[in-house]
Amino acid sequence: MSERPAVDLSPFESFTVAEWSDLRQGARLTLDQDDLARLRSLDDPVSLDEVASVYLPLSRLLAFHVEARFELHGATHRFLGRTEPKVPFVIGIAGSVAAGKSTTARLLRTLLARWPSSPKVELVTTDGFLHPNAVLTERGIMERKGFPESYDLPRLLAFLTAIKSGEAQVRAPVYSHLVYDILPDAAVTVDRPNILVLEGLNVLQTSQLPRDGRTIPFVSDFFDFSVYVDADEPDLRAWYVRRFMTLRATAFSDPRSYFHRYAGLSDDEAVAVAGAIWERVNLRNLRENILPTRPRADLILRKGASHTIEQVLLRRL
């Protein structure tokens, strides 16, 4: 019996950066070096060339998706005989600690806001929906901060429901990386944007489906498009340790910093502490909760050891 030809069963179409860059189709880069310095995260080496080759074509793709979604929204409401305001197009950004989610989210927000139509684009991170440290400590899960159970999921789902209902002046809590906790008297207000970017570790996370068929919403149910920033474990670990070392000499030196106790460590001690935190917390979260959600994304940005994107995978329609 002859062997059957190999069939590509992947739901994704793969592009090299050169192939993806061709899909820019003459779109003009609206960022300069000063913008990039402001938008990229600590120790993220993203360049303007990478922005033009990867993020600009992605913003063009998203422009098509937003237009199509708004047309579908209008058609549905015409069918229902309703006249309701357009609801935001929501983009989810997922991936591991140190993968570069924050840079990706900020770049997309800025590129999208600079379309010729000048849409209103807001960015919210799920850090603000973490339980306060006092609650995490009381529940004995402070070491699992960033794991699914450390988030106030009902509050996050209520926020997204309000956004997708077209409500005005929707408030989201604020998280401080300096004090490593929720700021109790702070909030950001999201007021009917055209596009909302939601960035976080576990935004593509699901839970076990109920056997009785009851509706249990996931955060990703509110997404119109999702991106997963991907890299190999050894690279993620190296980037995390490098960032920790940079923070030790900068933010950790602030006496207000939750991690101020690490500022006086020697290089060897700091590397050992960072590696232990990675293994005990971040790697475990990646393997148990974050990486399993990668196949649920609409697009995957695959990074190499240099922290630059080497492959783009787009879900087939």
pLDDT digits 0-9 by tens, 98-127: 999 999 999 999 999 999 888 999 999 999
Q: How far is CA 62 from CA 23, 85, 142, in A?
A: 12, 21, 37
In the numeric block, the tokens 């840079």 are attached to 103
In a domain, 301, yes or no: yes
Tokens representing residue 292 in the block? 């399993």
Q: What angle do CA 140, 252, 46 make, to 5 degrees?
A: 100
**pLDDT above 70 for 7:** no
Q: From the centroid of its chain, how far is CA 183?
A: 21
In a domain, 4, yes or no: no
Tokens representing residue 299 in the block? 């697009």
In a domain, 2, yes or no: no
Which residue range is the domain that position 122 belongs to? 21-315
The pLDDT-based confidence of 209 (bands split at 50, 70, 90) is low
CA distance 285 to 202: 9
Q: How many CB atoms lie within 10 A of CB 119?
A: 16
Return the exposure string of 132-171: e unless at least 16 CB atoms fall within 10 Å of the residue's CB, then b: eeeebeeeeeeebbbbbebbbbeebbebbebbbeeeeebe
Dihedral of alpha carbons 143, 172, 255, 242, sign: positive
For the segment 153-176, the average pLDDT, to the nearest whole number, is 95
**pLDDT above 80 for 207:** no
Number of domains in the chain: 1
In a domain, 257, yes or no: yes
User: Count of residues for the chain?
Assistant: 317
In a domain, 12, yes or no: no
Is the Cβ–Cβ distance between 311 and 104 less than 8 Å? no
**pLDDT above 80 for 263:** yes
Tokens representing residue 253 in the block? 């030196």
In a domain, 218, yes or no: yes
In a domain, 5, yes or no: no
The pLDDT-based confidence of 73 (bands split at 50, 70, 90) is confident
Contacts of 58 (CB under 8 A, 6+ apart): 108, 227, 299, 312
Question: For the whole prediction, is pTM greater than 0.85?
Answer: yes
The pLDDT-based confidence of 208 (bands split at 50, 70, 90) is low
For the segment 48-53, the average pLDDT, to the nearest whole number, is 97
Lowest mean pLDDT across 111-115, 207-211, 286-290: 207-211
CA distance 214 to 210: 6
CA distance 279 to 206: 24
For the segment 235-250, the average pLDDT, to the nearest whole number, is 96
CA distance 121 to 90: 10
Segment holding 136, helix H or strand E: helix 133-138
The CATH number of the domain where 259 resides is what? 3.40.50.300
Looking at the chain, the whole-number percentage of residues with pLDDT higher than 90 is: 84
β 309-315/12-16 pair status: antiparallel
Segment holding 174, helix H or strand E: strand 170-176
CA distance 302 to 10: 15
In a domain, 174, yes or no: yes
Tokens representing residue 102 in the block? 């924050």
Q: How many CB atoms lie within 10 A of CB 32?
A: 9
Tokens representing residue 250 in the block? 């900068």
**pLDDT above 60 for 15:** yes
Q: How far is CA 295 from CA 10, 34, 230, 261, in A?
A: 10, 35, 11, 39
Find the farthest-apart pair of alpha carbons in the chain and give their distance in angstroms, rounded: 73
Q: Could you tell me which residues are beta bridge partners of residue 199?
A: 93, 125
